[in-house]
Amino acid sequence: MTSAWWPWAALALLGAYHGVNPGMGWLFAVARGMQEKSRRAVLSSLLPIAIGHEASILMVVIAVSLTEEFVPPFFVRLLAALVLVTFGLYKLLRPRLHPSGFGMRVGFIGLAGWSFLMSSAHGAGLMLAPVLLGLPVYAGYHSLSEISLQAVAAASLHVAAMLFVMGVVSVVVYEKVGVGILRRGWFNLDLGWSLVLVASGAVTLFTAL
């Protein structure tokens, strides 16, 4: 099928976007490296961040898959569209939500928990919903195990792309560029991200109608 490749590419691209966004994790890895004065601390921070992100994504992927299994596709799309638009509008109003109770000295579980909350507050998984609905496995009837397999593959591809980009960026910033880059390069993408959430909700809605 000619249309089969685009959802996978989109999943990887979204992963790369989350990987390059300082607020989603690589900056935390660099800060921990600077605090410990060790590149190991940078690298060892990446896995818990990726795990937290994966967990946040999986939550949405499982929700979409289960809904798809038991509810007609039209209603799944309608529901996804409503959630996306509502969340996007909420992010427009309160763009700076961040989890509280965290500090620089988080351990493996703390860092994974932070990443999970940060990704969820960002709506990282939600953005995947319309893409998932574009996967062929959701187009017709498939068994739950087929759907689950594809769902996990989708989330893993996304997180692998994120982990790769996050790893490259954090090491380059830690070793070469320095955190001074933040002042020039940390563009405010909150507004754009919120609008894209709303827009993809709208597209999902129209493909549902």
Partner 1 sequence: MATTLLRPDQTFYPSPRLAAKAPVETLAYMVTFDPTRKKPDGLLTLDVDPKSAGFGKEVGRAEVPNVGDEFHHFGWNVCSSALCPYAAHPHLERRYLLVPGLRSSRIYIFDVKPNPKQPKLVHTIEAKEIAERAGYSRPHTIHCGPDGIYVSALGAPDGNAPGGIFVIDHDTFAVKGRWELDRGPQQLAYDFWWHLGYDTAITSEWGTPNMVEAGVNPELLLAGEYGHKLHIWDLPKRRHRQEIDLGKEQQMVLELRPAHDPSKAYGFVGVVVSLKDLSSSIWTWHLDGSTYKVEKVIEIPAEPADPNDLPPLLKGFKAVPPLVTDINLSLDDRWLYVSAWGTGEFLQFDVSDPFKPKKTGSLHLGGIVRKAAHPKSGPLNGGPQMVEISRDGNRAYLTNSLYASWDEQFYPEGIKSWATSIHAKPEGGLSLDEGFFSTFEQRTHQVHLEGGDASSDSYCYS
Nearest approach, Cβ of 40 to partner 1 (angstroms)? 15
CA distances from 138 to 10, 79, 97, 132, 141 (A): 16, 15, 33, 8, 7
Nearest approach, Cβ of 113 to partner 1 (angstroms)? 11
Our CB check for partner 1 shows the closer of 82 and 177 to be 177
Binding site for partner 1 (CB under 8 A): 22-23, 27-28, 30-31, 34-35, 37, 94-96, 98-106, 114, 179-180, 182-184, 186-188, 190-191
How many degrees, rounded to 5, is the angle at CA 50 between CA 44 and CA 55? 135
Nearest approach, Cβ of 26 to partner 1 (angstroms)? 9
Our CB check for partner 1 shows the closer of 27 and 197 to be 27
Nearest approach, Cβ of 125 to partner 1 (angstroms)? 20
Contact 46, 29 (CB under 8 A): yes
Our CB check for partner 1 shows the closer of 60 and 165 to be 165
Tokens of 63: 């929700």
Our CB check for partner 1 shows the closer of 60 and 112 to be 112
> Among 57, 60, 63, 50, which residue's Cα sits nearest to residue 24?
50
